[in-house]
Amino acid sequence: MSGIIKANADTSGLTLSFEFFPPKTPEMESQLWEAVDDLAGWAPSFVSVTYGAGGSTKAPTLCAVSRIASQTTLTPAAHLTCVGAACEEVDAVVAEFAAAGVKHFVALRGDPAGGIGTAYVPHPNGYANGAELVAGLKRLGDYEISVSAYPEKHPESADVDADIDMLKRKVDNGATRALTQFFFDNDHYERYLERVRAAGIDIPIVPGILPVHNLAQVRKFAGMAGASVPDFVVARLGTIDDDSERRFVAAAALAAEQVQDLIRRGVTEFHFYTMNRSALVSEVLRRSGFRRTDVAA
Ligand code: FAD
């Protein structure tokens, strides 16, 4: 167990981060800012905004992190991908984000231009993978750098060892935190963590928690991302996909149980995939024993 089991679940001293995606429409824009405002009450250590592979969301991602930096008390982190771009193009994007107040990047390679499942072809003058991007970022400035990690293996990796080698390269190049792909079975995370620690990697491996708004969508995405959706998830959520109140309660209970179990296993940092919606994440946190900082006890 690598000394990661703790006797009691206690949320004091735990840290949270929330992931958002850049909005595409005015309605989605309102939804994003409502979610950001509401989730700010849980005092996250940072909030991140995703970045479309190939720079497809550069403007809205920049807009969102700028607004977080200038109009909220939250600390933004900008996701950044390097697929399909020359190093100098990526470096120029970094400069724009930095000018907007971003000091923390989530450095990612990005999915292959042909889509998940096709072969990845690095740009001839680009960063070839997440590790090279981390090194490039470190050359550009003293940024905080988070990276990805895959408890159930990245679909392109030959095996878990190849994934862990890549993670080690990212850490050697300056990454100080890994955020995991979502998973539902905590044993996957714990086994992965044991192998990461055995490889001499000591940065926080922060579990990515995905409260399920829509099981069909999650199953589809999990299939592409190489994450499994265990039978116990399907058994609890599979029959109630169209009943919103019951689904909300069941999804909140499921994710809260996952978080509580991870706390018992010694996890102290959590990254939530919010889908730009706050109610379910807030309910998971409340059920897990966290306290909002913006309401009296
Ligand atoms: P890397 O860390 O470079 O590689 C991942 C693994 O794939 C490595 O362990 C390596 O073993 C293997 N690998 C890499 N390249 C090859 C190759 N050429 N051949 C064989 N094996 C290879 N995507 C976005 O587009 N925008 C986002 O904002 C975004 N945010 C994310 C946030 C998190 C927390 C996570 C976990 C993923 C996110 N992704 C995002 C998805 C990510 O871009 C994809 O998973 C992508 O396929 C890999 O990017 P990476 O940085 O993890 O790659």
What's the pTM? 0.95
Which candidate, 8, 3, 1, places its Cα nearest to that of 264?
A: 8
- The 10s digit of each residue's pLDDT in 223-272 is 999 999 999 999 999 988 677 899 999 999 999 999 999 999 999 999 99
Atom index in ligand 1 nearest the CA of residue 111 equals: 47
Ligand 1 centre and the CA of 216: distance in Å?
Answer: 23
Q: Whose CA is nearest to atom 15 of ligand 1?
A: 129
- The 10s digit of each residue's pLDDT in 160-218 is 999 999 999 999 999 999 999 999 999 999 999 999 999 999 999 999 999 999 999 99
Q: Where are the domains of the chain?
A: 15-288
CA 35 and chain centroid, separation: 16
> Which 3 state secondary structure label does DSSP give 170?
helix
CB 69 within 8 A of CB 40: no
The answer for residues whose C-beta is within 8 angstroms of residue 291's C-beta and 6 or more apart is: 11, 297
Q: Ligand 1 pocket by C-beta < 6 Å: which residues?
A: 50-53, 79, 81, 106, 108-111, 120, 129-130, 148, 154, 156-157, 162-163, 166, 179, 181, 208
Q: Using CA atoms, how far apart are residues 17 and 23, in angstroms rounded to an integer?
A: 19
Angle at 229 between CA 223 and CA 230, to 5 degrees: 145
Which one is the CATH code of 15-288: 2.30.140.10, 3.65.10.10, 3.20.20.220, 3.40.50.2000?
A: 3.20.20.220
Q: What residues are labeled active site?
A: 19
Handedness of CA 34, 259, 150, 171 (dihedral sign): positive
